Structure 1
Amino acid sequence: MTMPITADDNTQRSRNIIRNLKHLEGPMLPILHALQAEFGHVPDEVKPVIADELNLSRAEVHGVITFYPDFRHHPGGRHVLKICRAEACQSMGSDDLADRVRQLLGIDFHQTTADGSVTLEPVYCLGLCACAPAAMLDGDVYGRVDEHCLSEIVGEIGL
Structure 2
Amino acid sequence: MVPHEPWSTPRAAGIISEHTHLEGATLPILHALQEAFGYVDEQAVPLIADALNLSRAEVHGCITFYHDFRRAPAGRHQVKLCRAEACQAMGSDALHANILAGLGIDWHGTTSDGRITVEPVYCLGLCANGPGALVDDLPVARLTADGLEAALNEVAS
Provide the TM-score with structure 1 as the length reference: 0.78
Task: Name which of 51, 54, 62 aligns with 1:56.
Answer: 54
- What whole-Å deviation, never above 9, does each CA across 1:26-66 have from its counterpart, x for those lacking one? 33233222212322221111001111222211111101111
What is the RMSD computed on CA atoms of the aligned residues? 2.6
Code of the residue aligned with 2:121 in structure 1: it is V
Q: Is the contact made by 2:6 and 2:37 (CA closer than 8 Å) also made in structure 1?
A: no
Of the candidates 106, 118, 121, which is equivalent to residue 119 of structure 2? 121
The secondary structure found in structure 2 opposite 1:69 is: coil
| Equivalent residues of 1:97, 1:150 under 8 A apart | no
Q: What is the one-letter code of the residue matched to 1:133?
A: P
The amino acid of 1:54's aligned partner reads L
Report the equivalent of 1:88: 86
Question: Partner of 2:34 in structure 1?
Answer: 36
Residue aligning to 1:101: 99
Give, in angstroms, the shift of residue 130 of structure 1: 4.2
What residue number does 1:77 align with?
A: 75
User: Could you say what secondary structure the match of 1:112 adopts?
Assistant: coil
Counterpart residue number, 1:145: 143
Q: Which runs of 4+ in 1 moved over 6 A?
A: none
How far apart in 1 are the matches of 2:133 and 2:17?
34
Specify the alignment match of 2:65 in structure 1.
67
Whether the 8 Å CA contact 2:39–2:70 is kept in 1: the answer is yes
1:98 Cα offset (Å): 0.9
Distance 2:57 2:66 in 1: 15
> What displacement does 1:118 show?
1.0
Q: Deviations over 1:107-146 (max 9, x none)?
A: 2212111111111111223344344322112222333324
- The TM-score normalised by the length of structure 2 is 0.79
CA distance in 1, matches of 2:39, 2:6: 16
Residue 20, structure 1, aligned to residue 18, structure 2: yes
Q: Secondary structure of the residue that 1:44 maps to in structure 2? A: coil
- Could you say if the C-alpha distance between residues 127 and 19 of structure 1 is closer, same or farther in structure 2, counting changes exceeding 3 Å? farther
Mapped to 1, the partners of 2:138 and 2:30 lie a distance apart of 21
Q: Aligned residue pairs: how many?
A: 152
Q: Judge conservation of contact 1:128–1:134 (CA < 8 Å) in 2.
A: yes
Change (3 A) 1:30 1:100: farther
